[in-house]
Amino acid sequence: MSATSSLDAAVRAELVLTRRGVRMTQLRRDVLRTLMEEDRPVGAYKLFDQLKARDAASAPPAVYRALDFLVSEGMAHKLQSLNAYVGCACFEHAHDAHFLICRDCSAAQEVPTKAIRKQIDRDASAHGFAVERMMIETVGLCAACADTA
């Protein structure tokens, strides 16, 4: 993600949160910007190191709290299989995600879940299971890495 678009995103995020009546604090802003500037999933401690270097974070709990907040607001996602986080620019509303994760370059591409969600609802209702959240992570080889290989 380019510096320009990540800036735009950060500004938009600010507006969205204000409209929701929740607070965009300095720490949360810093965490979101740092996430957005990365084009790869980032671990919480790597994020912490970067923020610490700029005196933007004091200790891990602060970073985890900010990440939890951003995830709950739909502005970040956690990749469970990598223990890492990615910023999300489509944060007008909280949403589940499906990520295509390249095992070679570790890029993570978010793709819409509408069709999959339908299928999951079918599978779940066959078991009387009420779906609340879902996480889908697909590992493989992205187009760029397939070309190189």
Partner DNA sequence: GGCGTTTGGTTATATTGTAACCAAAGGAAC
Partner DNA sequence: GTTCCTTTGGTTACAATATAACCAAACGCC
CA 30 to chain centre: 15
User: Does 72 engage in binding with DNA (CB under 7 A)?
Assistant: no
Classify 142 as helix, strand or coil.
coil
The entry of a second copy, DNA, none that residue 18 binds, CB within 5 to 8 Å by partner kind: none
Interaction of residue 145 with DNA, rule CB under 7 A? no
Query: Which of a second copy, DNA, none is residue 20 near (CB under 5 to 8 Å by kind)?
Result: none
Residue 111 carries which DSSP code? E
Q: How far is CA 105 from the centre of its chain?
A: 17
Q: Output the six-digit token pair for 129.
A: 């299971």
CB of residue 66 to DNA, shortest distance in Å = 6
Kindly list the residues in this chain that would bind a second copy in the complex (CB under 8 A). Answer: 80-81, 98, 100, 102-103, 109, 111-112, 115-116, 119-120, 122-124, 126-143, 146
For residues 87 and 35, the answer to whether their CB atoms sit within 8 Å is yes
User: What residue 69 binds from DNA, a second copy, none (CB within 5 to 8 A, per partner kind)?
Assistant: DNA
Q: How far apart are the first and last CA of the chain?
A: 24
> Which residue's CB is nearer to a second copy, number 12 or number 106?
106
Shortest distance in whole angstroms from residue 97 CB to a second copy: 12
- For residue 23, the partner it binds in DNA, a second copy, none, with Cβ less than 5 to 8 A by kind, is DNA
Angle, CA 115 vertex, CA 41 and CA 146 arms, to 5°:
45
